[in-house]
Amino acid sequence: MSCHTSKDSLHAVGMKVTKAREVLLRVLEASDHPLTVDEIYDRLAQPRPGRPTIYRNLERFIQEGWAESFVDKNQIQRFLRCSTTEHHHHIHCEKCQRTTELDGCAMTKALSQLERQCGYKVTRHQLQIYGLCPGCQKALTLK
């Protein structure tokens, strides 16, 4: 039984194991949708890390590929845990906010075609996909 996943991960990349880091990873993992720093803050039991600590560590997590952030439509940064460090995208349910990690990237072909069309050399891209999750679709048809 492995109760030490986060500890091991932290060690593996040479980061010290601190309360703040363990609890932050736990909060991110427990959520099925991306969280703002305020939401993370509210979910932490006292005594809890301060906001600067939260920001600093989330930044580190992103560097390691353990998490991603994006800016939502209210211009607030949201953070979510990723289960893979491979390039991938997410789909967000517009109704319940649930976020699902997608396998791989569906755009590779379209992008190489694009390169030929516009003359640019594509280096990277960001894609946010929004929709209705299966559960919310069902809820709508029942009305």
Partner DNA sequence: TCCAAAACAGAATCAAGTTCTATTTCTGTA
Partner DNA sequence: TACAGAAATAGAACTTGATTCTGTTTTGGA
Binding residue (CB under 7 A) for DNA from 6, 9, 36, 100: 36
Residue 43 in contact with DNA, rule: CB under 7 A: no
How many Cβ atoms are within 10 Å of 10's Cβ, its own excluded?
21
In the complex, least distance from residue 39 CB atom to DNA, rounded to whole angstroms: 10
62 near DNA (CB under 7 A): no
Q: 44 is in the binding site of which of a second copy, DNA, none (Cβ under 5 to 8 A by kind)?
A: none
Query: Pairing state of beta strands 77-81 and 99-101?
Result: unpaired
Q: Where are the alpha helices (DSSP H) in 50-98?
A: 51-63
Q: How far is the CB of 131 from a second copy (least distance, A)?
A: 4
CA distances (Å), origin 94, targets 41, 57, 99: 23, 28, 9
Indicate which single residue of 4, 5, 8, 17 sits in contact with DNA (rule: CB under 7 A). 17
Residues that bind a second copy (CB under 8 A): 71, 75, 77, 91, 93-94, 100, 102-103, 106-107, 109-111, 113-115, 117-134, 137
Q: Which of 37, 62, 91, 105 binds DNA (CB under 7 A)?
A: 37
Identify which of 74, 77, 71 has the alpha carbon closest to the alpha carbon of residue 38: 77
Closest CA to 40 of 27, 53, 30, 52: 27
